[in-house]
Amino acid sequence: MNRDQIRSKIAELLGDITDNDDLALTDETTADDVDGWDSVNHVKLIVALESALKIRFDSDEITAPDNVGALVDLIAEKLPSA
Amino acid sequence: MCKLMDAEQFPSLARLTEAILAVWPQHRRYLQSNFAERDTDMLRHSERLTAMILRLADSTEGGLPALATDYRFLCEKIILPEEMHFRRTNAYRLTRFDDALEQVYSRKEFMTRYMNGLLVSDVIWLNHCRCMKHYADTFLPGLPEGASLLEIGPGHGLLLCLAAERPGIGEITAWDVSEASLDASRHSLEVLEAKRTASFRQVDIFDRSQRRENDLFDAIVLSEVLEHLEDPAAALSALFDLTRPGGRVWINVPANSPAPDHLFLLRNADEATALVRNAGFEVVESVVYPMSGVTLERAKREALTVNCVVVGRRPAH
Ligand SMILES: C[S@@+](CC[C@H](N)C(=O)[O-])C[C@H]1O[C@@H](n2cnc3c(N)ncnc32)[C@H](O)[C@@H]1O
């Protein structure tokens, strides 16, 4: 998966969780920019990413990814390199 | 940056929120929306509670900054990992008391930070704060003049202090299985210069051999205890035996509230009410307070944390 594909996956899952069908994310998007991306939904997003991508997050890692780009980087590190 | 709380109107809240933001600036948005949810009455109650917490803070090691740091530690390092486990598995991590004893209760330094964090949560987390308000503004004033009151598991002792401040309450007794908790609540009564004291006794709610013949109370308080137990139904039936016929109990128990020492997973408020009723009590009142930022409907739909307060009455005959 490349960075764009990871970002789309995040958008898809976060869109499901926050009931937003056409959620568009850029690397610069922060939680504050997205309606409904609160701390409860953040944990749900992380757990949804875990099962969709077969990865595992440590709670230390998820407290404050500054923006979507940082989350994409974190996921990229966890995925087996293609 | 603008101040979160008006320091003239709410000096204690202003001090507490500033102390939190000093160690956790990213918490601003949460605090802002959290306090925006409170009406004036609720803010006044929060201010009163915070004034108590600040006085307790002054008497603990590290003072207010340490308390604020421990609150952040609670949210990020204690609750968040359990939250993730709960979302992954739909269960609490531990179910056995012995495991909680080994992993949580016996770790003294961890426990201190955990308890400090929880003290702050009593005013910051709306579900906790509302429970305290129900206790102080509804339950205590509704008790008959001179009612004797027993709290089991007072922990930090905040509820005990509220009872001691309330005129009209009779003799106050506190039982806890933990010597450290008894010390903490005794200390709180002293620091807050409560109008009177309580008699303290180390008692395990499950151990009937520790009971005395005249152990019968007009009011019994059990707050944030049931979820720590392996057998909550047995605890409630012990409570029933200790309640004088016609007397009342105030039970506060969270549902869907993962924490390292929570063993009993309550799924909703109906289960809480049923537990109290099955122990033999009539249910006088049952209220549910969702976590900050969440409506009751959303909490139900998504299995989010709520606190259930159930007031029960032991039938007179
Ligand atoms: C989380 S604290 C509750 C503090 C306070 N009541 C509140 O509402 O925030 C739980 C308390 O229950 C006590 N406890 C746990 N098991 C008990 C038992 N079997 N008998 C008596 N007390 C118990 C603990 O020692 C602790 O002080």
**Confidence grade of residue A80 (pLDDT, cut at 50, 70, 90):** confident
Per-residue pLDDT of chain B (317 residues; tens, 9 = 90+): 567 899 999 999 999 999 999 999 999 989 999 999 999 999 999 999 999 999 999 999 999 999 999 999 999 999 999 999 999 999 999 999 999 999 999 998 999 999 999 999 999 999 999 999 999 999 999 999 999 999 999 999 999 999 999 989 999 999 999 998 999 999 999 999 988 889 999 999 999 999 898 899 999 999 999 999 999 999 999 999 999 999 999 999 999 999 999 999 999 999 999 999 999 999 999 999 999 999 999 999 999 999 999 999 999 98
User: What distance in angstroms lies between residue B245's CA and the mean position of ligand 1's atoms?
Assistant: 24
For atom 13 of ligand 1, which residue has the closest CA?
B153
CB B132 within 8 A of CB B51: no
Chain B residue numbers touching A46 (CB-CB < 8 A)? 84
The pLDDT, as a whole number, for residue A28 is 96
User: What distance in angstroms lies between residue B225's CA and the mean position of ligand 1's atoms?
Assistant: 5
CA A44, CA B288: separation in Å to the nearest integer?
A: 23
Contact residues, A window 2-31, toward B, CB-based 8 Å cutoff:
none
Q: Is B37 on the interface with A (CB under 8 A)?
A: no
Q: Is the CB of B159 under 6 A from ligand 1?
A: yes
CB B45 within 8 A of CB B93: no
Minimal C-alpha gap between A3 and chain B (Å): 25
CB B124 within 8 A of CB B291: no
Q: Is A44 on the interface with B (CB under 8 A)?
A: yes
Task: Tell me the residue range of the domain where A52 lies.
Answer: 3-78
Chain A residue numbers touching B77 (CB-CB < 8 A)? 59
pTM: 0.95
CB B173 within 8 A of CB B149: yes
CA A47, CA B306: separation in Å to the nearest integer?
A: 21
Tally the domains of chain A.
Answer: 1
CB B220 within 8 A of CB B234: no
Q: Is A63 on the interface with B (CB under 8 A)?
A: yes
Between 3.40.50.150, 3.90.850.10, 1.10.3720.10, 3.40.980.10, what CATH number should domain B126-313 receive? 3.40.50.150
ipTM greater than cut 0.85 = yes
CA B298, CA A39: separation in Å to the nearest integer?
A: 14
Residue A26 sits in a domain whose CATH number is 1.10.1200.10
Give the nearest partner residue to A46 out of B77, B84, B304, using CB atoms: B84
Minimal C-alpha gap between B99 and chain A (Å): 21
The pLDDT, as a whole number, for residue B221 is 98
Delimit the domains of chain B by residue range: 11-124, 126-313
Q: Which SS3 state, helix, strand or coil, does residue B113 take?
A: helix
Mean pLDDT, residues A28-38:
92
How do strand B282-290 and strand B306-313 relate by DSSP bridges? antiparallel
User: What distance in angstroms lies between residue B22's CA and the mean position of ligand 1's atoms?
Assistant: 31
For atom 17 of ligand 1, which residue has the closest CA?
B177
Q: Is A59 on the interface with B (CB under 8 A)?
A: yes
Chain B residue numbers touching A36 (CB-CB < 8 A)? none
- Please answer yes or no on whether A62 and B80 come within 8 Å at the CB atom: yes
Give the nearest partner residue to B304 out of A32, A40, A59, using CB atoms: A40
